Amino acid sequence: MLMRRADQLGAPLYVYGEDYSGYAEHGRFVYQDSDGLLDLPMPKLPGRHQIGNASVAIAALRRLGGRFARDSGIEWGLKNVEWPARLQRLTRGPLLEAAPEGAELWLDGGHNPHGGAMIAQSMADFEERAPKPLYLICGMLKTKDAIGYLLPFRGLAKHVTTVGIAGEAASLGAGALYDAARTAGLEASPADDLLDAMMQVSAWARAREGEGTPRILICGSLYLAGQVLRENS
């Protein structure tokens, strides 16, 4: 559909995998297009999907030109990029203080099935490098496919604690999201708010102390992520 519409408008297409590509090799990020090959540092943002995202950004820059399209500008961008609530590690705030000692706390605002699959893959990659039991704290809007979002975490997450998003009329209730998590095949429980959710996660982690220090992911909505960042930054 996109290619057909571009043809109707006479708009040029520059297609990933055909006109340009990017991939990881020996701990480096290799980008290639008709103008040549770039040997670059890996993107600062975590997750293998960021290689594809970075490739799209580089392709656009190289078509537009300007100082950031130079090799040095691209390398600077990869090393310094910041994207709040996209696999962001939280290092302070009341939620971290309420978490089990030594726990990793991550935040991601992805909210659709494709985003869920990418985030789950990143969590699986984290697990491969440094095994830790994964717990989710999830809040979503009624307009989103909650079951589709949560399905990729089946067999990966130990437990999902569901919350409503404070102040958002379109938020799914914690109970409705609990039902979605159970339908997706995940162990779940509802919570009153984020702090209650973290207290529940702490209790679950204590009950499974032999599994190690947990990795906790707050996820499912940019609205929820915004609340977390306001209260924990």
Rounded to whole angstroms, what are the CA distances from 218 to 6, 81, 161?
A: 38, 21, 9
The answer to whether 73 and 57 are in contact (CB under 8 A) is: no
Question: What's the pLDDT tens digit per position in 219-228?
Answer: 999 999 999 9
- Give the pLDDT of residue 92: 93
The residues near 4 (Cβ < 8 Å, ≥ 6 apart) are none
| β-bridge pairing 134-138 and 215-219 | parallel
Neighbours of 27 (CB within 10 A): 7
- Look at residue 12 and tell me whether its pLDDT is greater than 90: no
* Portions of the chain given CATH number 3.90.190.20: 88-231
Neighbours of 156 (CB within 10 A): 14
The answer to whether 125 and 46 are in contact (CB under 8 A) is: no
Q: Which of 94, 140, 93 is nearest to 116 (CA)?
A: 140
DSSP string for residues in 216-229: EEEES-HHHHHHHH
Question: What's the pLDDT tens digit per position in 26-50?
Answer: 999 999 999 899 999 999 999 999 9
- Give the pLDDT of residue 106: 98
Amino acid at 206: R
Listed ranges 10-14, 134-138, 210-214; the one with the highest mean pLDDT:
134-138
- Give the pLDDT of residue 155: 96
The residues near 8 (Cβ < 8 Å, ≥ 6 apart) are none
Percent with pLDDT over 70 in the chain: 100
Length of the chain: 233
Question: What's the pLDDT tens digit per position in 157-212?
Answer: 999 999 999 999 999 999 999 999 999 999 999 999 999 999 999 999 888 878 89
The answer to whether 215 and 122 are in contact (CB under 8 A) is: no
Per-residue tokens: 167? 């102040």
Rounded to whole angstroms, what are the CA distances from 174 to 12, 83, 110?
A: 46, 27, 18
Q: Which fold has domain 88-231?
A: Protein-Tyrosine Phosphatase; Chain A (3.90.190)
Average pLDDT over residues 102-111: 97
Stated pTM of the model: 0.90
Question: What's the pLDDT tens digit per position in 136-156?
Answer: 999 999 999 999 999 999 999
Using alpha carbons only, give the angle 224, 230, 233 rounded to the nearest 5 degrees.
Answer: 120
Distance CA 185, CA 153 (A): 9
